Amino acid sequence: MTERAFFSGKEFDKRFRYDGKDLGALCRGGRTSFKVWSPLAEGLTLRLYRDDSSAAFLEKEMEPGKRGVWQAEFPESLHGVYYDYLVKNQGKEVTSADPYAVSCGCNGARSMVTDLRLTDPPGFRGDERPAAGEECIIYELHIKDFSYDAGSGVPEEHRGKYKAFAAGDGQELPVCMKHLTELGVTHVQLMPFFDYASIDESGDGSRFNWGYDPLNYNVPEGSYATDVRDGTVRVRECKEMIQALHRCGLGVIMDVVYNHTYSGDSWLERMVPGYYYRHRKDGSLSDGSACGNDIAVGRAMVDNYIADSVRYWVREYHVDGFRFDLMGLLTVELMNRIRRELDEEFGPGRILLYGEPWRAGESPMERGTHPALKENAGLLDEGVGFFSDDTRDTIKGHVFHGEVPGFVNGGRGLEDQILHAVTGWRDGGASIVPKSCRQVVNYVSVHDNFTLWDKLVLTMHKELRQHCWETDFTSRYEDVLAANRLAAFIYFTCQGNLLMQAGEEFGRTKLGEDNSYRSAPEINMLRWSQVEDFGDLVAYYKGLIHLRKRLPGLCDKAPSAFRRIKDQKVWGPGVVSFRVDNRSSSQGGEWDELCVVYNASDEAFSMELPEGRGLWEVLADGREADCRRPAEAAGGFGCAEVVVEARSGMLAGR
Ligand code: CA
């Protein structure tokens, strides 16, 4: 029998599926219990240590229990004690940390028993997630990028750390936090902050990695903590970060990577060899993640592990949502289960869920499961969203082919596409029709691939590519700025959720580097002087963010919302317009109707705004967002004319 047939068969589940919620080391009420699921092991030894490097002070044979769970009990609190296991499988003995560990020592090889109540920062019990607003405007941020630059205003010892977010606690906020809170976004999406393997936590802090290489799924990463050896510190400081963001009214979305692990030789593999990974027919590890292994989502204990982990982060850390890396390697069934469980425990729709609806390659799925790919949008719950690569590529050009332009930077024949994007593709403009625009995340740049600025320079200033990118972080090109504003204007006037990469609002460049996952922090970090250098662009984004929240016709997430988009017109190459029914029953809408024009052409475009009741006001154009000025009168009653400058947008309301 192959491994796959063995682990996927009903017989295995019947004997070994364990649905208890007490795996790991639980420490409360003056007792400590260790439980680990390792159904095929011939023996397990628990080893206890005073710290993360000294020799064991106690070894204890674990007792085999029901359904493959091994256990040991102590009538005392072992908070702060480190531990690992010696696991014997098929005659071979290996050391493993606890896959269910909630904390660990330096570099994650030893788990730490943690009485979680002792890790709460002051006031954490009273911490509340921000109320849901009219719109989700999400800011993708890397913890180290945020405050590594001295210009962040964060004290040196806290730069690049969890502590940077809490730096202004009780006092004036540092530059980076002030900017983040004044921008108006509703959520930050933090790139991986579970414990990952690629950074040596004992290093000097000059190394950088995005962190898509999970080591301990339920432990915060140590390199962002001020002490990597005392496991309580990373837990407490991670909670402080979330608490501080909540205090500023920002929700926290966690970027999670349940599709693969750093290495196929993980704690999971050591506990149950062969169970947690997908294998090809020849027995080799499958590689749909392009990272060397794929987690076998669809097996009972894999799904339990992931669903439990997600709930743990919400319950213990007060996380407000999740962004699933390569969600196409996970299953529709698991995503819908997670949605249901979170709704039951935390209230319907309270926790955001969305992911990348793709995978890097084929992966052998369990029978009866469906990959959570874009084409299965119809099977996914309406509350499971996905990034719209269609909207992204239509606006700025193909993500992998750097020189291919999109609508705003010289691409041709994209007028119909861009109008479909406005409805979040709900109008049937693509082969994939989401259940509602609630499932759609609109964006033009994230950590992967070129920053928006670099993509625009690459397509619009081919002659500058080589020399200017050697050192120059601050060059301004007026045509690139105009295209940047138009790109932002377009996705901020599309229905669906909105997401932006940190620094998109101040011309962030990585000097043409399109895969900076382990580049120097100096390439990756946010340069806070750019907030001033690109102050006009920052003001434009702020305006769009503020305006968007007041446009119920665009914020509407109902399945029927696409019907609010009317009168779509293509006026010529690069020029389109549409109207929006902006009425709202729940809120006092300021404008009943909107008229939106995108002009990506090289010439100004003038248009008569439709007749009707009320006077048109221009609310945003190519230079200013969130303005209010009367549109020029043009003849008859209610008629008005607007001139939309070359490469710019215009939004009017009445
Ligand atoms: Ca780590």
Cα(197) to centroid of ligand 1, in Å? 5
Topology of the domain comprising 564-653: Immunoglobulin-like (2.60.40)
CATH class entry, domain 3-119: mainly beta
Across 95-109, 168-182, 442-456, least confident range: 168-182
**Residue 211: is its pLDDT beyond 60?**
yes
The three-state secondary structure class of 190 is strand
466 — pLDDT class (breaks 50, 70, 90): low
Residue 559 in contact with residue 435, Cβ under 8 Å? yes
How confident is the prediction for the chain on average, in pLDDT? 95
| Dihedral sign computed on CA atoms, order 31, 70, 93, 7 | negative
Query: From the CA of 229, how far away is ligand 1's center (Å)?
Result: 11
**Quick one: pLDDT band at residue 59, thresholds 50, 70, 90?**
very high
Is pLDDT above 90 for 542?
yes
Q: So what's the pLDDT on residue 472?
A: 75
For the chain, which residues make up each domain, given as ranges? Answer: 3-119, 137-255+297-552, 564-653
CA geometry: angle at 641 spanning 635 and 644, to 5°?
A: 165
Residue 600 tokens, joined:
């990506």
Tokens representing residue 334 in the block: 């698991």
Q: What is the mean pLDDT of residues 160-186?
A: 93
Domains 3-119 and 564-653 share a fold: yes
Q: The whole model's pTM is what?
A: 0.97
3-class SS string, 363-396: CCCCCCCCECCHHHCCCCCCCCEEECHHHHHHHH
pLDDT value, residue 588: 63
**Token pair for residue 235?**
């837990």
What is the spatial distance between Cα 228 and Cα 639, in angstroms, rounded to a whole number?
66
Q: Residue 471: what pLDDT?
A: 61
Q: How far is the CA of 195 from the centre of ligand 1 (A)?
A: 4
Q: How is 261-299 classified by DSSP, letter by letter?
A: -S-SS-HHHHHSTTTSB-B-TTSPBP-TTSSS--B-BTB
356 pLDDT more than 80: yes
pLDDT per residue as tens digits for the range 424-454:
999 988 878 999 999 999 999 999 999 999 9
Q: What is the mean pLDDT of residues 310-315?
A: 98
Mean pLDDT on 89-93: 94
Mean pLDDT of 563-578: 98
User: Residues for the chain: how many in total?
Assistant: 654
Does position 596 have pLDDT exceeding 90, yes or no? yes
The per-residue DSSP string of 558-627 comes to STTGGGGEEEEEEEETTEEEEEEE---SSS--S-SEEEEEEE-SSS-EEEEEPPSSS--EEEE-SS-EEE
595: pLDDT strictly greater than 60 = yes
- pLDDT at position 311 is 98
Res 467 pLDDT > 70: no
The dotted CATH code for 137-255+297-552 is 3.20.20.80
pLDDT tens for 469-503 read 656 777 889 999 999 999 999 999 999 999 999 99
> Percent of the chain, pLDDT > 70?
97
The string of DSSP letters for 413-426 reads: S-HHHHHHHHTTTT
Ligand 1: centre distance to CA 219 (Å): 9
Nearby residues of 97 by Cβ (< 8 Å), 6 or more positions away: 84, 85, 104, 108, 109, 110, 111, 216, 267
Instruction: Specify the higher pLDDT residue, 51 or 461.
Output: 51
Q: Span 128-149, mean pLDDT?
A: 96
Instruction: Determine the Cα–Cα distance for residues 523 and 512; give it in Å rounded to an integer.
Output: 10
User: Do 35 and 23 touch, CB atoms closer than 8 A?
Assistant: yes
Residue 103 has pLDDT above 80, yes or no: yes
Q: How far does CA 37 lie from the centroid of its chain?
A: 30
In this prediction, residue 10 carries a pLDDT of: 85
**Is the confidence at residue 637, as pLDDT, over 70?**
no
Segment among 314-328, 377-391, 437-451, 628-642 with least mean pLDDT = 628-642
Q: Using the mean position of ligand 1's atoms as its centre, give its distance from the Cα of residue 107 in Å.
A: 5
pLDDT the model gives residue 470:
58
- pLDDT digits over 238-254, tens only? 999 999 999 999 999 99
Residues acting as catalytic residues: 325, 356
What is the 390 CA–ligand 1 centroid distance (Å)? 34
Q: What is the DSSP string of 544-556?
A: HHHHHTT-HHHH-
DSSP string, 118-166: GGPPTTGGG--PPPP-S--EEEEE-HHHHH-SGGG---GGGTTSGGGGG
Q: Is the pLDDT of residue 636 over 60?
A: no
Cα of 141 vs centre of ligand 1, distance in Å, is 18
> Cα separation of 421 and 430, whole Å?
9
321 CA to middle of ligand 1, Å?
22
Cα 393 to Cα 599: distance, rounded to the nearest angstrom = 17
Choice between 654 and 432, residue whose per-residue pLDDT is larger: 654
Ligand 1 center from residue 387 Cα (angstroms): 27
Cα–ligand 1 centroid distance for 283 (angstroms): 30
313 C-alpha to center of ligand 1: Å?
Answer: 17
